[in-house]
Amino acid sequence: MRNFLPTPTKVALAQSLPHPILNYADTCYLDLREDQLNKLERLQNLCIRFIYGLRKYDHVSEFRAKLKWLPIRLRRNTHVLSLLYSILFNPILPSYLKERFEFLCDSHNRSLRSSENLTLKIGKHSTAFYSKSFCIEAARLWNTLPFHIRRATSLESFKKKVKEHYLRL
């Protein structure tokens, strides 16, 4: 069927069938091993090969860029950061989620340059297991973002800026 379907239809099929599976709970499974992430990457590459009629060993990087799709690891980072942005700046979300994150400031409640830069405090952790938790990994990813992205005014603009940032990498 891939030879008979037009490219926009194949893109729609790829985005509606396997992509929700790739997106499902990817923010919860931050401790996936490299071999598991590679399997997810191969599934995404298979979708790209289906869309453009590529053979098994053809490179997909330029075609992924045409589709403006992120690689799996960066895609997961985007979802983690979007969830974190919602937790930090959405007033409707419960306070017990917001309590897990705090911006850096000194003990006298004076504003530091790091708090003006919206830098998050990374919690103390001594185990590798906890270092892969959402709180630690999300704060680490947040702090690596450029300042102009962290100060986005809405979730939609934040998502757009993060995706553009990762596409430029």
- pLDDT tens column, 37-53: 999 999 999 999 999 99
- SS (HEC) of 86-148: HHHHCCCCCHHHHCCCCECCCCCCCCCHHHHCCCECCCCCCCHHHHCCHHHHHHHHHHHCCHH
Q: Which residues pair with 103 in a beta bridge?
A: 120
Across the chain, mean pLDDT equals: 89
* Predicted pLDDT at 139: 94
Q: Does residue 114 have a pLDDT over 50?
A: no
Q: Which residues pair with 120 in a beta bridge?
A: 103
Domains of the chain by residue range: 7-69, 74-168
Position 29 confidence tier, pLDDT thresholds 50, 70, 90: confident
Position 5 confidence tier, pLDDT thresholds 50, 70, 90: very high
pTM of the model: 0.86
C-alpha to C-alpha distances, 59 to 18, 63, 70, 75, nearest whole angstrom:
20, 8, 15, 19
* Predicted pLDDT at 113: 47
* Predicted pLDDT at 86: 95
Q: Does residue 15 have a pLDDT over 90?
A: yes
Residue 36 tokens, joined:
């598991």
Position 133 confidence tier, pLDDT thresholds 50, 70, 90: confident
Q: What are phi and psi of 120, to 5 degrees?
A: -90, 145
Percent of the chain's residues with pLDDT above 90:
64
Please name the residue that has the structure tokens 């702090």: 143
Q: Does residue 116 have a pLDDT over 70?
A: no
Contact call for residues 3 and 50 (beta carbons, < 8 A): no
Pairwise CA distance, residues 37 & 68, whole Å: 20
Instruction: Please count the other Cβ atoms lying within 10 Å of the Cβ belonging to residue 25.
Output: 7
Closest CA to 145 of 115, 117, 122: 117
* Predicted pLDDT at 110: 53
Average pLDDT over residues 117-125: 85
Pairwise CA distance, residues 67 & 48, whole Å: 9
* Predicted pLDDT at 28: 81
Output helix, strand, coil percentages for the chain, rounded to the nearest 5: 60, 0, 40
